[in-house]
Structure 1
Amino acid sequence: MSTIPRAIWRRWRSAWRRWSLWTALIALVVSMLVTMVWLAGRYEASQVQSHLERDAADAVSDIRAALTRNLQSLQALNSGDPGLLAWEVEASDLLRNQRELVRLEWRDSAMRLRTHVQSPYRAVLWDRGLRDHNNSEANQACSTARRLSSPAYSGSYYQPHVDGLGSELMELCLPLSTGGRASGYLIATYALQSVLADMVGASLTRSQEASFTEPDGTRLAVLGASRRGSRMFTAQQLLDLPGTTLVLRMDTWHTAPSVFPNVLTALVTAMSIALVTVMWVLVRDNRRRLRAERDLGDALAFRKAMEDSLVTGLRARDLQGRITYVNPAFCEMVGFTAQELMGHSTSAPASALYWPPERVEEYRQRQAIRFAGNTPPREGFESEFMRKDGTRFPVLIIEAPLINAQGLHTGWMSAFLDISEQRRVEELSRASQERLQATARLATVGEMASLLSHELNQPLAAISSYATGSLNLLEPPSATDPQPSAESLQDVRMAMRQIARQAERAGRVIKSVHDFVRRRDQAREAVPAQQLVDAILPLAILQARKLGVRVHTMVEPGLPPALCDRTMVEQVLLNLARNAMQAMDDPTIHTRVLDIRVKRAASNRHNVWLEFSVTDCGSGIPDEVAQKLFTPFFTTRTEGMGLGLSLCRTVVEQHGGYLGFAPHEPRGTVFTFTLPAHQPSKS
């Protein structure tokens, strides 16, 4: 009984193949016939369009030639310096012969009308005021001609007639010269409708429509045959004239392509070609099938080699969670063979072979969430796997839907990365970071100690000087009068106040340096620039007297107060002033002037800056020293620590400013730094 249905199946399959071939043949013949008819129509339409393009190009060429001839005739009108009467006679003859010309005008160099002649064929309403206006087309054309030193055309404009109609006109301006000097202009007015009628060949407009149009398609003048046909063809050519550009448009209408008388010949030819084509298609199909099988084998071998070379583990699962594919890298990662893993389901009561037993429920819940599609695809997450020998290792898992060739979701593809080495490197990096932080704290302690020793030298030295002076003042002036005088006691009180002020300043230095080393925000206040300068003047003058330096200060009036840490900025000013005076401690320098100035710096509408400058008359800074001047612990003096300028730059930069230096003419150096100005808040 099973033999009969099998025979019927084979007969049906053979008939289906036969009819499918005939169906393919008929479809091929019909498609080829339709294609030939369509191509014939396309060819005929392309011929019509090509012919129209040539006609449009010929029409533009004819117009250019006619305009050139008219230009020569117009140039001949004013040759030989004719009189007004003779010019009018010749111009009238020219207008009668050239109907496209409507009006001729002879104007002097100031565009005043000398004489004019109008065409006898058109009664045009001319407005003398409009033609003499500066914005008239004639004036614009003459302006262009004067600029180009050659004839120029104007754009088209509408001019009404006496009979109530009107036409589009265009002006031609021809510059005239006598003895090499401009003597006037000849203005010729063209009617665009007559240009089409007289300059375009009659054969071109007999079966086609010619028109001048604006670039946007607005028609200015039209001439030609009426519409005959169902399909319109259009060609456009630019008529580029000096001073203006017109578009010449040619339109023609054509009936449907006459290709149906050739259908029988096309049908016979198509059927013959189709028979040969079917045989060729069958042979080619067989060859392609063999080639596809060979290419498929090569692709599978290539994919297998590529997957075996990967260090990333790959695993494919179907929608039920059964493993359908693993690559060698995954097997090596978990320690199981491909035969042990294939077909194993993570959804079965038994857990996955590489899941830690204590985390089975957690992994199943996470897998159920991912299978339900509640997490975005290609999102990586970390997990922990167990090798066959029981060792645990961290992995990074990246999963994506597995889509087949028909676009159906058939499972999940997962990629696994063993991140054990990455975790080890991260741990080493974390330990190294902790050691670096400890080292940085030790360096900060050393930096604070160096800064304190450097900055406290100045107030302590001042305290010592004032204390010595006080002791000297307390000494009895003579053995007979052991009591000090009232004037001496007043000086002692002043010295004691200075000692207290310098002690308070030393305390502020310690606090400011401490905050600076810890990189905290210092307490900033609005301080007038004059107070900053006055605060350092007593100490600067003491050293200036020893070195024979004259101190000059200048603060620009009307400056806003500076927003700064008073103690640190005073220290910057004092350091720069002392460095400047020490730079002038040279026997060869006779003029020793220390100049301290404060002025408003270049600012914008958002921020206002003050510029402080300290100038000396020393020997300047050599290039090799300038490159390392702000380097910590670099100094050119044997007793220096090399921290002064480095600290000054750091303090200024913490305020948002800039510290720099430049040579001073005729000699010396000027150090400049900027500080932000205090801006009261606007209510």
Structure 2
Amino acid sequence: MTVPAPATPARSSGTAPLARWRHWWRKQSPTRQDRYVTLGPLLAVMLFLAAVIAAFAYLRIEEIDREQQAVKRDVEYAQQRLRLRLLERQEQLMRLGRDVSNKEVDTEEFIAQAESLVNQYPELLAVTWVDSRRKVKAAYVSPSANLAQARLSGEQLKYGETEGTFGLARDLRQPVYSRPLPNKDDTSHNGASLQLQIPLDDQGKFGGVIMGEYAVDGLLRFGVPTEVTAKYAVALLDDQGKLLAGNLPPARNTAAKLLPWSDEAQEYEIPVSPVGNGLLLKAQGYRASLGVVGSGFFWLVSALSALTVWMLLGTWRHTRRRVQAQEALISETNFRRAMENSMLTGMRALDLQGRITYVNPAFCQMTGWSEDELVGRTAPFPYWPEQDRETLAARLDDELHGRSTPGGFEVRIKRKSGAIFDGRMYVSPLIDPRGQQTGWMTSVTDITEPKRVREELSASYERFTTVLEGLDAAVSVAPLGSEELLFANKLYRAWFGGEVAGHMNLIAQAGVPTAVPTEDTLDAVDGLAGLPTDTLTTAQTENAEIFVPELGKWLEVRSRYLTWVDGRLAQMVIATDITPRRHAEEQAALQAERAQSASRLITMGEMASSVAHELNQPLTAINNYCNGMVSRIKGQQISNEDLLVALEKTAKQAHRAGQIIQRIRSFVKRSEPNRSSADVATMVSNAMELADIELRRHNVRLSHYIAARLPPVMVDPILIEQVLINLMKNGAESIAQARRPTARRSVELRVVPKIIDEQSVIEFSVLDSGKGLSPEVMGRLYEAFYSTKAEGMGIGLKLCRSIVESHQGRMQAENLYNGDEVVGCRFTFWIPVTPLLSPALAATETPSPPAGVH
């Protein structure tokens, strides 16, 4: 059995990508192939230049990284050397401090040891012994120090210099380094100093400090190794970057640091331990190389690459111009062919003998005849209807002799199917490149649908005009800023004639805003200022009722803005005769007045019950006062002053009873309260005083909250007090019926300002802890002669609501719930701070019609 060799699949797999590439290449247009061939060398040169730049950048980045690592390593080495030097001085000062704490060293011995330390270590400027009260006991200052470091025995240290460091050493009982202190007497950067304060222990107490002062410049010169200062610019800085010692080269452009070929010198900084972040050691390397940009080989490669790119671009531009010329020719040909094929207008060309030489696809589609069936035909043409051939032949003769009208002419054309449609033809001469006429070009447009639409619009206009002429309202339209009447229906012409004066008079009397631009205001102010900015089709109409003496009629005028057919902004006014309706309204008002008088007579019957109901509180108070005085007089337990006070309260309640009768009588008579400016807090206080007797009788506690700075209200205070008394009394009776325990027997009165329907009001709320209102009672709450109490008359809440509504307020009641349990009821009513115009006053201020109009 022979096994087939697997070489064929391998060859096919290797040639498949090549075959696919060839297939893709052959699919491309010659223009695109030329573009790819031209862009290939350009792309190769650009890739070569990018590779060279990347190589140089990589080498430069490696060099910068090595330099940065070297700087970091050398600065850390210098920081370690400086740290060891500071620790050695710290240890020596700590030994001196222990000797001082153990009282083994006196001031003379201290000065001797301090002198030895200062002379042995040049960076040490001074060593000072300071007691716990910040006084200098002994000090030695280096001869090279300035006057600022001089310390005298018994001298008090300045707080500004060592306050923070001294306090920190006292609290921590550990050596503390201060922030670098600038030398105020030295304007150079090398006068800064650093303090080390070592606390002293005096038998467990703070005994002062040993303060060593270092010259920051000395620390730099003697603490940093010379091999580091020889390679770098080294300096000591504070935590704010201020130079304390040493020198740094000026800062260079920071943007250059972001570039891989930047020749910016490397730098590194590190805090000096054990001082901390207050002292920083910073080193910056000197520039040692030219960088990538300074390399001559780099510029040579860049120049050669740029020259090659320039040559390739010139070749590519020449090729592109040639291709563009070819594409423009092809595009022009395709454009003209596409324009002819996409036109809905039929095109037909005739020679001078009347033979068809050309038709476009639209003409063939319009007539149903193909190009082969039409080209070369002479009159009569197949698309001529039989009954119109004589007319069309005359039209053709006029066309061939140049007698066609410029506006075209209308003809009837027959399709191959036999259907007839209307068309309009336009004729123009055909001129060859030499300027000679070779024939006539005719364009044909199908006007069947536009003609049908025009006929329908004409019929619609006739119907619309008929409807407007038959309306029982006067309709007129006039443009803004002009006294031209654009439209007026039959009724308008009957009332005002054909003049625009009637339209303008209606607008003026109705108070409709309009704008008439003048020559003086055209440049300064827009003449249409004040008109609505909304879309005209959604603008709201404006209604007004006016009386026209010339017609002796009441008219309802409605107006709106619209855009007229010529684009001008116009105003339409519709005036409807409402004289019969006005007469009917006057009759209805007269009947309402008579019904109101009858209602007042009926209310007189209810007045006796209302008086009996409302006089209960003052009469009860008078009875209580009299019984109390009688009991105390019999027991000889009352003085003349107490008797006089009780008699005054009795007289006050009697006067109040008379006021109640007068107010209820006036209320029934006028249906309007006797309003005056009343203080809310005074009304509430009077009501609480009268209701408190009834509440104490039911063992009910009364609490209240009255908001501060309440504005006065225009009310009848007697009536409002009666409403509050009635509501509080009803709350106490509801609590008594519910048999609540003593802890839950309370009535709360709240008076607060509120905003309801964008109107400032005063809200009165009476909350009780009774059993609430059942749904049946809630539905009949304000019904006359309905009461849930055996002795109730059923007119209390009805009268209360009437009083509140007569003050343009509202009353409502709701149950209070704790979960699903009813725990009380709340009656709320509000009175507006500024009452609206009453109906009676509004009627008196309404202008009456002229005499003789009914």
**Greater Rg, structure 1 or structure 2?**
2
Q: Taking CA–CA contacts closer than 8 Å with sequence separation of 6 or more, which of the two structures ends up with the larger relative contact order?
A: 1
Q: TM-score, normalised by structure 1?
A: 0.49
Q: TM-score, normalised by structure 2?
A: 0.40
